[in-house]
C-alpha cells in the first residue's frame, strides 16, 4: 500500500450501508473505537459499549461496519484489530496522539478538559475559531488551540505571556504530548470527560481533513503543471523539427 489514507477508511466506516439506516455514530466514535480496541488488545462488546457511551444496538452496528471494512476480527476472547486495522490505527496514532486530562484553568475553561496533539498542522490555524466551532458541534463547551513553534507553545492571537500563569499545565502538555515544530494541541472542554475528549478529537479530525484536501489540491496542481510542461516541451521539439 503506497500511502494509507486512514481518514478515508474512517469516513467509510461511519457511512450508511445501503439499504440500512444512517448510523447513529460519527467518525469520532470510529476513531475512539479503534483507539480503544487497539489499546485493549481484545475487548468485549459490552465493555466497548460502555467506553463509547453507546447502547448495545449502536455498538453492534459499529462493530459490523468495522468488520465489513476489514478493521477488526472477532473471537471468543472479544474484538481485536485485524492486521489492516492495526495499520490504520498506527497511521492514525502518527497524526493524532494524546487524550491527556488537565485541570480547569484560564487555559482550559471547563470542569473537564482533555488535550490532544495533531502533527504538523500549525499552518492551518488562524485564531482557533474553527476548532472551537468543531468542538461545540459535538456537544462540548469550547476549545483552546495552541501552536508549538520555536520550542514553545503559544495561543494564536494572544500575547505570549498569557501562559505564564499556567506553567504546571504547560509543562504537562509538553511532557506528555511531546510536541514538535508546527504541531498543534487542542484542549476540548466540557461538563464531562467523554464530551471533552470527543470535542478535542472532532476538532483534530477536521484539521486533518483540511490538510488532506490541501495536499490533494497541491498534488493535482503539480500534476497539471508537469503535464503542461511536458506538452510544451513536445510542442517546441516538434516546431524545431519543422
Tally of structural domains, the chain: 2
106-153 tens-digit pLDDT: 888 899 999 999 999 999 998 888 899 999 999 999 999 999 999 999
Does some domain include residue 217?
Answer: no
179 and 153 share a domain?
Answer: yes
Q: What is the sign of the dihedral through the CA atoms of 79, 40, 52 and 204?
A: negative
Decide: residue 136, CB within 10 A, 0-12 exposed, 13-18 middle, 19+ buried: middle
Domain span at residue 106? 95-211
160 and 62 share a domain?
Answer: no
Answer whether residue 84 shows pLDDT above 80: yes
The percentage of residues in the chain with a pLDDT greater than 90, rounded to a whole number, is: 63
162-220 tens-digit pLDDT: 787 788 899 999 999 999 999 999 999 999 999 999 999 999 999 999 998 876 544 44
Amino acid at each position: 500500500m503506497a500511502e494509507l489514507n486512514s481518514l478515508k477508511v474512517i469516513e467509510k466506516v461511519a457511512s450508511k450501508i445501503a439499504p440500512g439506516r444512517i448510523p447513529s455514530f460519527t467518525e469520532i466514535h470510529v476513531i475512539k473505537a479503534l483507539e480503544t480496541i487497539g489499546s485493549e488488545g481484545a475487548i468485549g462488546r459490552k465493555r466497548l459499549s460502555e467506553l463509547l457511551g453507546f447502547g448495545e444496538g449502536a455498538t453492534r452496528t459499529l462493530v459490523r461496519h468495522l468488520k465489513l471494512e476489514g478493521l477488526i476480527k472477532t473471537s471468543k476472547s472479544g474484538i481485536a484489530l485485524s492486521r489492516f486495522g492495526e495499520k490504520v490505527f498506527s497511521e492514525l496514532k502518527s497524526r493524532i496522539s494524546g487524550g491527556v486530562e488537565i485541570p480547569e484553568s484560564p487555559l482550559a475553561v471547563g470542569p473537564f478538559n482533555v488535550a490532544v496533539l495533531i502533527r504538523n498542522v500549525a499552518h492551518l490555524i488562524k485564531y482557533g475559531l474553527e476548532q472551537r466551532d468543531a468542538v461545540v458541534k459535538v456537544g462540548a463547551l469550547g476549545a483552546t488551540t495552541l501552536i508549538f513553534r520555536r520550542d514553545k507553545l503559544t495561543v494564536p492571537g494572544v500575547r505570549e505571556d498569557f501562559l505564564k500563569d499556567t506553567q504546571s499545565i504547560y509543562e504537562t502538555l509538553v511532557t506528555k504530548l511531546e510536541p514538535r515544530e508546527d504541531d498543534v494541541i487542542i484542549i476540548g472542554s466540557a461538563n464531562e470527560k467523554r464530551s471533552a475528549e470527543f470535542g478535542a478529537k472532532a476538532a483534530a479530525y477536521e484539521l486533518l481533513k483540511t490538510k488532506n484536501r490541501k495536499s490533494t489540491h497541491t498534488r493535482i496542481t503539480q500534476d497539471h503543471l508537469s503535464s503542461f510542461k511536458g506538452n510544451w516541451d513536445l510542442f517546441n521539439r516538434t516546431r524545431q523539427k519543422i
